C-alpha cells in the first residue's frame, strides 16, 4: 500500500470535500481517502498494482475539482513555502475582488433601499423609482453586473459542480443569486409596459449576498491561515544557509547542500541548521521551540544537537548526522502534517450529513417556494424571496470546518509544548482516557541508577575511601549499578586506580585485585559465597534500604565487610506532580515494572501511585494493558523502551517519551519531546479541550442550519413574524463559518 498527499483545488465547503472522498473511495484498490477542507489536501492510501496517480487525478477532475500530487523530492520547507505563497496570492485576489464588489454594492444599496429608511435618503430625479422607473432599474442592473463578475467563481465552480452531480455551497449561492438576478432582469424588460414592476426588483439581493459571501470567504481564508501558524513557525526555525567548516576555513553554503559527516561552524546567536553532535567547543542551546523545555541546555563535545535550536553564547563545531527529511525538525513537522491530514472519528457524522446536505437544501428551497405559491397563494416576488433565502442561509462550510480547524490548532498547540500527536483519532481517544499506565524505569524514574547511600562499617574507613575502592574495581564492569558507582566517584573528583585483575561473578558481583588488596563488590549472594560474616544489625539495615527501593551492594576488602553502597533508580522530580495532576482529572494511575514487589511498592508510594503491578516480564506488559481494557478501561500506556513497544501498541493511546528508543517513538500515538511526565497531563487536557471545541463547533453548525433554514423558509412569517431578507441570510451564512474558525482559534490562547 502506498500513501500519497494531493493538493485539491476548487473546494469551497464540506460538500466538496465529501464529493472528493466519495469518488476516490470508489476506486478499486483504494484503502482510505481523507480530505482536509482547512488545508485543501487529500491523504489517500491505495494499492499501486490496481490504482495509479493518473486514475486518482482523473476521478477528482471528473467530480469538478483539480488534484495535484505533492512532490516527494521537494524539501518540505520549500513545499510549504510554495503552498503559503499560493494561499497569499489567492487571498490577495479575493481581497481585490471583494473591494470591487463593495464599491458597486454600496451605491446599489443606496439606490434600491435608501428611500425605505425612516430618514429617506435623497436620489436624483432621473433615478427615482416612481418618476423614472426604467432608469431606476437600469442603474441597479449596471451596478449589479460588476459585482457578479467579481464573484464569478461562485457561478463557474457552483454550476460546474451542479452539472457534475456534486452540488456544493457555491451551487447554492449561484442558484439563489442567479434566480434573483434573472427574475429582476425579466421585471426590468417589462417596466416600459408595466412601470409597477420596478417595485419587484431584487438586484440588491443578488449583489449584496454575493458581496457578503465573498467577505465571509475572505475572513474565513485569513482565519484558516492562522490555524497553520504552528507549522510555519517550526519551518522558520531551520536556517536556509549554514557555515561549512573544512580544513580550518569557513564557507557559507545552502543548508540543503550539506551532507552527513560534514562539519559546520555554529556561531553565538545563530540557529543550528541540522542535527548533529558537538565536535568542538561548548555552549548553551535553547531547544524550547522543539521540546517545550524553557531552560537552555548545556552542550559540550559528544552531545547531540537538534537542527532549528538556538545557540546562545559559545561557538561550536558540529558534525552533521542527519539532513533533509531525516532531521528531528522535519520529522516533527511531518508528524503534525500527518495528524492534521487524518480525520478524527467525531467528524464522521458531519461528513455523512455534508454528503447529502446541499441536495437536501435545494429540495427544501423548491418545496418551500412551491408551498407558499400553491397553498399560500403568495405572489412570485414573495416566493422568490423564500427560495433565495433558503439557498443562501444554508452553510455546509461550518460543518466541514468544525473538526479540521480545531484539530489543526490543537495539534499545533501541542507541538509548541513538545507534545506531538500523530493523528486526529489519537487526539480524540485521549480525551476518554480513564487509566494511565506508566512504565517505571526511565519513565517514572530517571532510568539511570545513582548512588544514594554509603554506609561505613569499618571505623578505620571513610565514605570517600570506600567509594574510591569500589569505583576503582567497577571501572572494568559494564553493569549499570557498577557504572553508577564509578560516575559518583568521578563527580566527587576522586582519582581511581585500575585493577590488576578483574572477575565478574554472574548474578552476584565482581572480584578484583587493587594494589595489595583483594576487593569484592556485590550482593548478599556474593557475601555468602565468600563466607564473610555479616551480623544481624547489618542485615536489618540492608533490608530496610532494600525496602526503600534501593539496591545494597556490599564492599569486601581482604575478607572483611567494609561497608554498604546503595544504588537506586531515583524518581524524576516531576513524577509526583504529574501523578497528582492526573488524579485531579479523575484518572486512575498505575505503575508497571519488572522489579520485585517491595521495591515497586516503595517507588509507587514515593510517586503517589496507588496501583502497582510488579514482577511483570517485558513480554507480558501488553497482556496487563489488555486485561485493563477488558475491565472497560480506556488505557493510555506511557513508556520509553524497546520492551514497552507491544504495550504502547496494545493501549488505546500509546504515549512515548522522546528520550526513549526509536521503536518506542514509532509505536506511540503521542510523543513527548521532553522526559517530563507533566506533559502526559497536558496531553490529556489538550485532548479534552480540543474535543470540547469540536463539539461546540459541530453544535453551532447543526444548530445554525437547523434554526436558519426553517426561518428562511418562512416559519416565523407563518405565525405573524418577519420574512427573512436574502441579504441577512447571506450575512448569517458568512458569519457562521467565521464563528466556527474563530472558536477553534480560541484554543491558541489556552494555558496547558
- State the DSSP string of 74-112: S-HHHHHHHHHHHHHHHHHHHHHHHHHHHHHHHHHHHHH
**651 against 533, higher pLDDT:** 651
pLDDT band at 584 (very low <50, low <70, confident <90, very high): very high
Ordered domains of the chain (ranges, CATH): 2-75 (3.30.70.100), 239-326 (2.70.150.10), 419-446+571-673 (3.40.50.1000), 450-568 (3.40.1110.10)
Which grid coordinates are listed for 723?
420574512
**Higher-pLDDT residue of 664, 713:** 713
* Rounded CA separation 170/709 (Å): 17
The pLDDT score that the predictor gives to residue 57 is 94
Nearest Cα to Cα of residue 451 among 466, 439, 432, 430: 466
Q: Cell 563488590 identifies what position?
A: 521
Per the CB < 8 A criterion, the answer to whether 394 and 709 are in contact is yes
On the question of pLDDT at 271 being above 60, the answer is yes
Angle of CA points 637, 333, 83, to nearest 5°: 145
Least confident of 380-389, 393-402, 462-471: 393-402
Q: Please say if the pLDDT value at position 100 is more than 50.
A: yes
If pLDDT is split at 50, 70 and 90, which confidence band does 314 have?
A: confident
Torsion of CA 35, 37, 38, 42, to 10 degrees: 20
Name the band, by pLDDT with cuts 50, 70 and 90, for residue 674: confident
Q: What's the mean pLDDT in 513-526?
A: 88
The C-alpha atoms of residue 150 and residue 100 are separated, in whole angstroms, by 7
* Distance between CA atoms of residues 38 and 222, nearest Å: 11
What is the DSSP-derived secondary structure letter of residue 440? Answer: I
pLDDT value, residue 657: 86
Q: Which of 108-117, 163-172, 693-702 is most confident?
A: 693-702
Element holding 395 (H helix, E strand) = none
Selected residue with higher pLDDT from 85 and 5? 5
Calpha distance 749→144 (Å, rounded): 42
* pLDDT surpassing 90 at residue 115: no
Of 32, 28, 69, nearest to 50 by C-alpha is 28
Positions of E strands within 515-584: 517-522, 551-557, 560-568
3-state secondary structure of 470: helix
- Residue percentage of the chain with pLDDT more than 90: 40
CA trace torsion 29, 30, 31, 35 (10° rounding) = 180
pLDDT at res. 78: 63
Cα gap 211→371, rounded to integer Å = 29
Crossing angle of helices 169-190/348-370, nearest 10°?
A: 20
pLDDT over threshold 70, residue 703: yes
Q: In this structure, what are the phi and psi dihedrals at residue 331, rounded to the nearest 5 degrees?
A: -65, -40
Q: Which residue, among 292, 313, 316, 322, has the nearest Cα to 303 in the 3D structure?
A: 316
Please, what's the largest Cα pairwise distance for the chain? 127
Kindly name the residue from 170, 439, 640, 644 that is annotated as catalytic: 439
**Residue 75 predicted with pLDDT over 50:** yes
The pLDDT value given to residue 608: 95
Residue 338: active-site member? no
SS3 assignment, position 6: strand
Residue 158: per-residue pLDDT: 87
Given the DSSP bridges, would you call strands 501-505 and 517-522 parallel, antiparallel or unpaired? unpaired
> Do 56 and 24 touch, CB atoms closer than 8 A?
yes
CB-hemisphere CA count at 13 Å for 329? 32
Mean pLDDT of 222-248: 81
pLDDT at 609: 95
Residue 73 pLDDT class (50, 70, 90 cuts): very low
Q: Alpha carbon of 160 to those of 180, 429, 510: distances in Å?
A: 19, 39, 82
Residue with more model confidence, 586 or 70: 586
Q: Which three cell numbers stand for residue 345?
A: 472519528
Describe the crossing of helices 152-163 and 133-150 by its angle, rounded to 10 degrees.
70
Query: Please, are residues 279 and 318 in contact by the beta-carbon 8 Å criterion?
Result: yes
Rg (CA), the chain: 35
Q: Are strands 635-639 and 263-266 parallel, antiparallel or unpaired?
A: unpaired
For 276, the enclosing helix (H) or strand (E) is: strand 275-281
Which three-class secondary structure state does DSSP give residue 7?
strand
For residue 604, the SS3 value is helix
Averaged pLDDT, 299-320? 91
More confident residue, 237 or 451: 451
**β-strand 304-305 against 450-456: which pairing, if any?**
unpaired
- Spatial distance between the Cα atoms of 129 and 196, rounded to a whole number of angstroms: 9
Q: What pLDDT does residue 623 have?
A: 92
Q: Give the integer Cα–Cα distance in Å for 396 and 357.
A: 7
Is the pLDDT at 273 greater than 60, yes or no? yes
d(CA 421, CA 62): 35
End-to-end CA, the chain: 38
Average pLDDT over residues 658-683: 78
* Of 326 and 624, more confident: 624
Identity of the highest mean pLDDT range in 195-209, 526-540, 552-566: 552-566
Is the pLDDT reported for residue 465 higher than 60? yes
355-379 pLDDT, tens digit per residue, is 788 889 999 999 999 999 998 889 8
Confidence of residue 642 (pLDDT cuts 50, 70, 90): low
Whether 665 shows a pLDDT value over 70: the answer reads: no
Pull the grid cell for residue 702. 447543526
The cell numbers describing 252, all together, are 557559507
Q: How confident is the model over 324-346, as pLDDT tens digits?
A: 888 888 888 877 777 766 677 87
Q: Are 181 and 203 in contact (CB under 8 A)?
A: yes
- Residue 279: what are its φ and ψ, rounded to 5°? -100, -15
Asked if residue 292 has pLDDT above 90, the reply is: no
Confidence of residue 512 (pLDDT cuts 50, 70, 90): very high
Comparing 95 with 1, the larger pLDDT belongs to 95
Q: What sign does the CA torsion over 396, 400, 401, 406 have?
A: positive
The answer to whether residue 527 scores a pLDDT higher than 60 is yes
pTM, full prediction: 0.75
**Which of 354, 22, 23 has the alpha carbon at shortest distance from 172?**
354
Q: Is 609 helix (H, G, I), strand (E, B) or coil?
A: coil
Strands 435-439, 635-639: pairing is parallel
Amino acid at each position: 500500500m502506498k500513501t500519497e498527499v494531493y493538493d485539491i483545488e476548487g473546494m469551497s465547503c464540506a460538500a466538496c470535500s465529501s464529493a472528493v472522498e466519495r469518488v476516490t473511495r470508489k476506486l478499486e484498490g483504494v484503502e482510505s481517502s481523507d480530505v482536509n477542507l482547512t488545508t485543501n489536501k487529500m491523504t489517500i492510501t491505495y494499492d499501486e498494482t490496481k490504482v495509479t496517480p493518473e486514475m486518482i487525478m482523473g476521478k477528482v477532475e471528473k467530480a469538478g475539482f483539480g488534484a495535484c500530487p505533492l512532490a516527494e523530492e521537494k524539501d518540505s520547507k520549500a513545499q510549504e513555502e510554495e503552498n503559503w505563497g499560493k494561499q497569499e496570492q489567492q487571498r490577495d485576489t479575493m481581497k481585490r475582488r471583494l473591494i470591487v464588489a463593495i464599491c458597486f454594492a454600496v451605491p446599489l444599496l443606496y439606490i434600491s433601499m435608501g428611500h425605505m429608511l425612516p430618514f429617506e435618503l435623497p436620489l436624483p430625479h432621473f433615478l427615482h423609482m416612481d418618476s423614472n422607473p426604467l432608469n431606476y432599474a437600469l442603474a441597479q442592473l449596471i451596478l449589479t453586473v460588476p459585482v457578479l463578475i467579481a464573484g464569478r467563481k461562485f457561478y463557474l465552480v457552483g454550476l460546474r459542480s451542479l452539472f457534475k452531480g456534486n452540488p456544493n455551497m457555491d451551487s447554492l449561492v449561484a442558484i439563489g443569486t442567479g434566480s434573483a438576478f434573472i427574475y429582476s432582469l425579466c421585471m426590468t424588460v417589462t417596466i416600459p409596459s408595466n412601470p409597477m414592476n420596478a417595485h419587484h426588483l431584487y438586484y440588491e439581493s443578488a449583489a449584496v449576498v454575493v458581496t457578503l459571501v465573498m467577505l465571509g470567504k475572505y475572513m474565513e481564508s485569513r482565519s484558516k491561515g492562522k490555524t497553520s501558524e504552528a507549522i510555519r513557525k517550526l519551518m522558520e526555525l531551520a536556517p536556509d544557509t549554514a557555515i561549512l567548516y573544512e580544513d580550518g576555513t569557513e564557507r557559507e553554503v545552502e543548508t540543503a547542500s550539506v551532507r552527513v559527516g560534514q562539519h559546520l561552524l555554529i556561531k553565538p546567536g545563530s540557529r543550528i541548521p541540522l542535527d548533529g553532535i558537538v565536535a568542538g567547543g561548548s555552549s548553551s542551546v535553547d531547544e524550547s521551540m522543539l521540546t517545550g523545555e524553557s531552560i537552555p541546555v548545556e552542550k559540550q563535545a559528544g552531545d547531540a544537537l537538534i537542527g532549528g535550536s538556538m545557540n546562545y553564547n559559545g561557538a561550536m563545531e558540529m558534525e552533521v548526522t542527519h539532513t533533509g527529511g531525516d532531521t528531528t525538525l522535519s520529522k516533527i513537522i511531518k508528524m503534525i502534517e500527518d495528524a492534521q491530514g487524518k480525520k478524527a472519528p467525531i467528524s464522521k457524522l458531519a461528513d455523512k450529513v455534508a454528503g447529502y446536505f446541499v441536495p437536501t437544501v435545494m429540495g427544501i428551497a423548491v418545496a418551500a417556494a412551491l408551498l407558499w405559491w400553491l397553498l399560500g397563494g403568495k405572489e412570485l416576488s414573495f416566493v422568490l424571496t423564500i427560495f433565495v433565502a433558503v439557498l443562501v442561509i444554508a452553510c455546509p462550510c461550518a460543518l466541514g470546518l468544525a473538526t479540521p480547524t480545531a484539530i489543526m490548532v490543537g495539534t499545533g498547540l501541542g507541538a509548541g509544548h513538545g507534545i506531538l500527536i500523530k493523528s486526529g483519532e489519537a487526539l480524540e481517544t485521549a480525551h476518554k482516557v480513564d487509566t494511565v499506565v506508566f512504565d517505571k524505569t526511565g519513565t517514572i524514574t530517571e532510568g539511570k541508577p545513582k548512588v544514594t547511600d554509603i554506609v561505613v562499617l569499618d571505623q578505620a574507613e571513610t565514605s570517600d575511601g570506600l567509594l574510591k575502592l569500589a569505583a576503582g574495581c567497577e571501572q572494568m564492569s559494564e553493569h549499570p549499578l557498577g557504572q553508577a558507582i564509578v560516575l559518583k566517584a568521578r563527580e566527587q573528583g576522586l582519582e581511581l586506580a585500575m585493577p590488576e585483575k578483574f572477575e565478574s561473578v554472574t548474578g552476584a558481583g565482581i572480584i578484583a585485585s587493587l594494589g595489595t588488596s583483594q576487593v569484592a563488590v556485590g550482593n548478599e549472594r556474593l557475601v555468602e559465597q565468600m563466607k564473610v560474616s555479616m551480623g544481624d544489625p547489618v542485615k536489618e539495615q540492608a533490608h530496610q534500604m532494600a525496602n526503600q527501593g534501593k539496591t545494597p551492594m556490599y564492599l569486601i576488602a581482604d575478607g572483611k565487610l567494609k561497608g554498604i553502597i546503595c544504588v537506586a533508580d531515583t524518581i524524576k522530580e516531576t513524577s509526583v506532580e504529574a501523578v497528582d495532576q492526573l488524579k485531579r482529572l479523575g484518572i486512575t494511575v498505575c505503575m508497571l515494572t519488572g522489579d520485585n514487589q517491595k521495591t515497586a511498592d516503595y517507588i509507587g508510594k514515593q510517586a503517589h501511585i496507588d496501583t502497582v503491578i510488579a514482577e511483570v516480564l517485558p513480554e507480558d506488559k501488553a497482556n496487563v494493558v489488555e486485561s485493563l481494557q477488558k475491565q472497560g478501561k480506556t488505557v493510555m500506556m506511557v513508556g520509553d523502551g524497546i520492551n514497552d513497544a507491544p504495550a504502547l501498541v496494545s493501549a488505546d493511546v500509546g504515549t512515548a517519551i522522546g528520550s526513549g528508543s526509536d521503536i518506542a517513538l514509532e509505536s506511540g500515538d503521542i510523543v513527548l519531546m521532553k522526559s517530563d511526565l507533566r506533559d502526559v497531563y497536558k496531553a490529556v487536557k489538550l485532548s479534552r479541550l480540543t474535543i470540547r471545541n469540536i463539539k461546540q463547533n459541530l453544535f453551532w453548525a447543526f444548530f445554525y442550519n437547523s434554526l436558519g433554514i426553517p426561518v428562511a423558509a418562512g416559519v416565523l412569517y407563518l405565525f405573524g413574524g418577519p420574512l427573512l431578507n436574502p441579504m441577512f441570510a447571506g450575512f448569517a451564512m458568512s458569519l457562521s463559518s467565521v464563528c466556527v474558525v474563530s472558536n477553534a482559534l480560541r484554543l491558541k490562547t489556552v494555558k496547558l
